[in-house]
Each structure stands twice: as C-alpha cells, then as structure tokens.
Chain A
C-alpha cells in the first residue's frame, strides 16, 4: 500500500519535471507563432490584442519576402533534385559493384562531410571564382553585353543560381550517396532479374521496378538534402551579393540587423515563412519514408 503510494508520487514528480521541461522547450515556438500574428509583438510572450496577418503582409509587400522564398525554393529544390538523381544512380552502382575502390571511395566522400564548411570557404570561393570567370567568358561569346548580368545571375558560379545549386548539391551528395548505397544493399538483385525474365527493357525495369522500390530511400536522401540546403546560411551568405538572389535565411538576418529598433512581429513572420516549406517537405517525404516493402522475398 505504502509502496504504491510512493510510486504514484514519484510518477507524478517525474511527469511534473517532464512537463516543465517540455514547456521550456516549446516556448520559443509558441512565441514565434503568437508574435507572427501580433502587430505589436515584443521580446516577451504576451497575448496579442488582435490576431492579424499584417506581419505576413509586410513580409511579402514591404520586404522582398516572396523573392527570398522563391530563390530559396529554386536553389534548394534544384540542389535536392540533383542530389536525388545522382544519389539514386550512384548509390545503385556503389551497391552493386564489387570494384576494389568501392570502400576507399565511400570513405573519402564522407570526408567532405567531416571537414567543417567554414574551413573550406576561402579555397572554395577561389574555385568558384575561376569557374565564374570561365562561365563569364563563355556567356560573352553568345549573349550581348547588356543582358550579361541577367544571364550570369542564372548560370554564374558566384552570385548565380547555377553555382549555388551545384555547390549545395555537392556538399550534400555524400550523405545521400551513403543512404542510397545502404538502401540498395537491402534491395535484392533478384527483383531486377525477375523483371529481366519477365521481359522488361532497361527503361521498364528502372521505371516500374527499381524506382518504386527505391522510393523510401530516395525520400530519405531527398529530405535530408533539402533540409540541409534549406538550413544552410554560410553558402548564400558567401556566394550571393545581389539583393535579387537573396535567400530566406539571409533575408531574416538582414531584417534582424537593419533597423535601430527590432521588429519582432516581422521577424517572427519571416521565420514562419522560412519554417513552413521544411515542414511541408517533411510531410511529403514521410509518406514514402514509412512505406515498408515486405513480403516480396522469402523469410
């Protein structure tokens, strides 16, 4: 009797601690949500006088919010697509080959993840600058000088979409390759052989057998790549200078730095806009992530 009483008390105590901790962890998110809809938001959490979309209106109308969002989506979407494509084919090849260089290769690419990006930023900038000069020369051959700037914003390696996309894709490809290689290790080659025996061409095998089987792996590698690009601050900070190419994290940062008085409502609204696509990406990927294919094989 006494024992059960103390254990109930202890249980209540444990839950109490957990609840306090959870509230502490949740508070910043609650503040973000409340402040984003409060025109007079301050540093401290308070009940807003009225709920309004005014902060969001200002993000898109007064600030360049829409452009930042679109830039982020283009760059991260492009990088994610490249990562998924290359990690899909590359992971498949790495899983199926028995070449002697397989292990050294896998370990050496993961090194790219080990080296902290800020340590590489100067040499990387030099490489990108050289590529950019090369691209500028190439563009000059085909495009009139007055359109030069517009074109370079798309295909440039510095202050251009292409450079950002390729750079981010390169940074996040190694992990995706590892994920896909490990994933394909678990996909029996007998599925493809069965498809060969059924008369499937290479294209049919890829589209109707391999791709559906690879979806959970691709969703995982794509999600990780997208989130990593989306969160990246250093690359857009270093390689973008034109305001037209500015991405969301730099948008928040500049809004935070700009005024003498910090506009908490506006910052919260940008943060919400910044968070939403990441959550949507997660929800989209989750459907495939939880998809488990069992039963095709024996045992």
Chain B
C-alpha cells in the first residue's frame, strides 16, 4: 500500500518559504510526476516525502497515517538519487544489499535476494564490480536495485535520467515503466522535462514557485490547462499566447480580436464578457492555409525550422513571435507572407490573471 496525501504542506528555509501550501493526493500504485522549472520546489517536496527534509507546516499522510515525524527508514520509502549516490567503495552486490546488511539479515538471505534483483535488472555479470566500472545505464539500474530490494511501498526518483544521453533515456523510460508495472509500488518522479512527465505519468503535478499549479493526467493537462503557466509548460513548442479582446458575443459565437488585429470566431463560452483576455493557441492547432482557403491569421514569417517531417514556423505578431507547427517540409525564407488557419475548437481563453475561462460542460 502506498497512498500519499499532502495537506497544505509547507517548507521554509530560514525566513524564505519554498513550498507554499501544497495539496496533493497520489493513489496507491500510481506513477506520479512532479514537474516544473528549476527552483519550483519539486525536489524539496520529494525530499520532504522521503524524510530528508522536515516539514515546516501541514501534514504528510501515507496510507492514512501522519508521517511528518517518522524517521526516513521507518517510512518504507525508497529513493533513487539524482546522482545515483552509489557507494563507490562497495561492489554492486554490496550496494544493492546494503540496506539488508544494516538490518542484520542473514548473509545467505541477502545473497539470494541480491541475486534475484540482479537477475531482474540484468546486473548478474556485474555483481562483483565497483560502480566506477559500470556504464551510466548500469549505474542507474544498480540505484534502482538498491531501492527495490527493500520492497518499499513508495519509490521516489529525483531527476534520474537528467545526465543520460538521449537514446539511453528512451530506453530507461521504458525500463522504468516496466519496473512500475512489475513492482506495483507507488512512484513519485521529479523532472523538469515535460516530455518525460507526459510519457511516464499516470498523474502529473505541475509546480511553480512552491505552489501546485494543476494536477491531472497528461492528456488532461494538455487539453485543459487551468492557467497560462501550465498551458505554456506542457507541450513543445510552447502554446502561443496572444493578448486579445472579446469583441462581441452573438448567440453561439464569440468574436475575439487579437491585438495584432486578427479576428477569430470561437464557440460561445459561458461567462465570457466583452473585455481584454489572452488567447492561447497551440502551435499544432495552426495550419498553413492554401490561397483559396479561409484563414484568420495573415502575417509574415520570422524563421522556419525544418525538421523534415514537420516545420516550425515563427511568425510576426507585433510582440513576441508566434510559432506554428505544421506537417511536412516547407521552405519559407524570413519575411515570406503566410496565412494560417486556426482550429477554433482547440483555442484556450485565459483572463488577464492567467486563469482559464471555459464552459463548465467542456
């Protein structure tokens, strides 16, 4: 069992508050990812759950029991560190079996369980090696082995893939998902990489400046961001935000005009009144319009990045350039006039404080 509940959890260092009342619920067996820019407090939150940092305020409950003052080793939580922190003077087998050895488990029992773990993580040939003689991926697996041998109900990962090369990351992501499936443990995984968060998580907690901005499953976050921060953090390239005004609400149609003068008609949204708003359009919701097709946006290119299968087109907006992600290869030198069509059903409206405005039914 490993259901985690954080109730108004706070953390201060000196007078400086780094976690400002976090409310998070993670169900037993879920793969949860804390994501946010560096300095958002995600690692601090993880270390508080581990017991490496004390909790300044609020409650941390594991399976309904308050854990605030329970020592780390009694929480039945394991942690894989950002640096792995394998004991360099011990062999792989000693590293994996260290926690059992500390508990005075009989040698034969340690050997058997280390053997099982090694078998599962394909580390058997390396059991007598020191960490210095292992590759990055193998070290990662030793760190995982050291965590799972304790049969914890919760495993914490602190940016474990951050220094691996791209190919190894993809492979390790697959291994982590397999690990989650086979252990059934609750996993909390910290990363600043939204792609990692999207691909691994059952539930993503987006953090900014010590506050939870939104909690949802990956697709929920992508489709229904509650604020401009989440909207721009999830998805790559990031969502375009255009300052705009609600011009008119007529029946089922709302007309919005961006400050650059582009009129965009959207399905009516409850509670939307005339006045300034921010219009969010994901780059992938913009398409290049053929000359005879209708198009809301008429502008010029700033830059086009050709990736072969798709092209990222930066275009003039009067302020920060917008970006469109269109399929296929397009050679568009800087300054080329282009027309872009907007998918009205994929537009997001935010008020001036950055909060999403959407119909309750949507």
Contacts and interface: CB of A to CB of B under 8 A. Distances in A.
Nearest to B47: A193
A201 B101 CA distance: 12
A204 B73 CA distance: 13
Interface string B70-114: 001100011101111111110000000011001100000000000
B354 to A, nearest CB: 35
A199 B97 CA distance: 12
Contact of A298 (B73, B82, B89, B132): B82
Nearest to B138: A295
A213 B146 CA distance: 19
A295 B87 CA distance: 9
Nearest to A189: B85
Given A204-B102, A295-B139, A298-B136, A194 B87 contact: yes
Contacts of A194: 79, 81, 85-87, 146
A293 B50 CA distance: 27
Nearest to B160: A298
How many of chain A's residues touch chain B, expressed as a range? 20 to 34
B102 A293 contact: no
B163 interface: yes
Which residue among A188, A198, A199 has the maximum number of chain B CB atoms within 10 Å of its CB?
Answer: A198
Interface in A186-201: 188, 190-191, 193-201
Contacts of A213: 87-89
How many of chain B's residues touch chain A, expressed as a range? 20 to 34
A294 B52 CA distance: 25
B130 interface: yes
Contacts of A208: 98
B81 A200 contact: no
B102 A196 contact: no
Closest 7 CB pairs of A and B: A295-B132, A296-B88, A199-B73, A293-B88, A190-B85, A295-B131, A198-B99
22 contacts: A190-B85, A193-B81, A193-B85, A194-B81, A196-B51, A196-B73, A199-B73, A199-B103, A200-B98, A204-B102, A212-B87, A212-B89, A293-B89, A294-B88, A294-B131, A294-B132, A295-B88, A296-B131, A297-B83, A298-B136, A298-B162, A299-B163
Interface of A: 188, 190-191, 193-201, 204, 208-209, 212-213, 293-299
